[in-house]
Structure 1
């Protein structure tokens, strides 16, 4: 059984393994008066990834905690969008890195105001100097181990929305907080799942919408030249809080902006 903590109470145990070792997961959900956007997708991911990390947690209890949070904070944000964060850790205890079998998971819940949305005219992006390393055993997991993204995000300058990170093979994989899609003359392309540090829920939603619309989609490596080629019809970043974001300038090169992926995705569902 998971132990629930509310961030505003300030009672989270200092010996928690998430604080000590990044031994845990997190989900960040956009919320409005109707509920949490892509709630089922978020619950799918955190439950699946907890199983991959052998953190014993039940989807039903996570869903109950999420519903408690929606009810607890509803009056604070009536009529507004806001952000709910779930941080799940293995718990407190164990000697050094080695966890003990009897650990009980901890769930820390916090909330924040909605950040500004990106303009529909597109954003400015650049490339990061920080390489992205993905252990194949943990690819796609939204774990608390995000130091590469932290260091890459420190490169952000005023006016730059995101920096894109490349792996050792030179493939452009994702942003510090976003997944990547490009539209080309041959259809859509997004990096393959095993290359991803984080397999975003908005990425999953966009893939489902593209395929349901009959679009050709390739999950394949993306090189720098693919992004800047004349055959590129658009570069998009996806994020579960911010939705679909068009890139209008990448590394000081102007890109076409049609907003087509946002149009295909349409409105993002809440509790379905």
Structure 2
């Protein structure tokens, strides 16, 4: 029996937009242009005030040191920005994440889930279904189509080596890494059912952590 996600009715004024980025000494922010474009698109779509004109200066002022950082940018409906930088340990190249499939469902007809916001109830509910030693949890929609993970997009490797990732129409966030892989021709958008995952090489990923091998638990 599936569990439907709750949380409809949240007003944009009660939400914040979020971007989580990686910063490396020497090379700086990873995919910063894509992150800021997504932030501005979401702000426009949801009626937020625009990002402050000195946002890039604020980001640069938040980072320093000789180790990688995780930089979380949160912007309120009124355009107020909070930036928090914390140490970041990259995922090992040979890591294989254990992933589960949640009973909690992501409604494909709710456009709010196509923006990265502080509205996290559905993802928190899915995450709570599994113990901590499961690295990521994948959500399906009401049609049992695969959507996304609680913090990553999902990719299924095909026989020719290309990756298939669920389409936005299934109800999911257009991840920054996902977009890059599609533009580079390494991935393509296509409908994915739970049965399509069996026996396939799976990956999850986001802009912060990159692409990570995964296996179902």
Fold-level similarity (TM above 0.5): yes
Equivalent runs, 1:22-171 vs 2, <5 Å = 22-33=14-25, 34-58=27-51, 60-70=53-63, 74=64, 78-91=65-78, 105-115=79-89, 117-118=91-92, 120-171=94-145
Q: Which sits farther off after the overlay, 44-53 or 196-205?
A: 196-205
Describe the SS at the equivalent of 1:128. Answer: strand
User: Of Structure 1 and Structure 2, which has the larger fraction of its residues in helix?
Assistant: 1
How many residues align structurally?
A: 205
Rounded Cα–Cα distance in structure 2 between residues aligned with 1:49 and 1:36: 20
Task: Give the Å deviation of 1:123.
Answer: 1.7
Q: What is the 5 A alignment of 1:225-264? A: 225-229=195-199, 232=200, 234-247=201-214, 249-251=215-217
C-alpha distance in structure 1 between counterparts of 2:35 and 2:174, whole Å: 11
CA distance in 2, matches of 1:36, 1:164: 27
Distance 2:139 2:46 in 1: 25
Change (3 A) 1:45 1:202: same
**Which protein is bigger by CA-based radius of gyration?**
1
Q: Secondary structure at the match of 1:129?
A: strand
CA RMSD of aligned residues (A): 2.3
Residue segments in structure 1 that go unaligned for 5+ positions in a row: 1-17, 92-104, 252-272
Regions of 4+ moved over 4 Å: none
Q: Once the 2 structures are TM-superposed, how far is the Cα of residue 121 of structure 1 from its aligned partner? A: 4.2
Deviation at 1:47, TM superposition (A): 0.8
Shift of 1:68: 2.7
CA distance in 1 between partners of 2:115 and 2:206 (Å): 15
TM-score when normalising by structure 2: 0.85
Q: SS state of the match for residue 88, structure 1?
A: strand
TM-aligned CA distance change 1:152 to 1:22, over 3 Å: farther
SS in 1 for 2:22: strand
Q: Is the 8 A contact 1:125 1:160 kept in 2?
A: yes
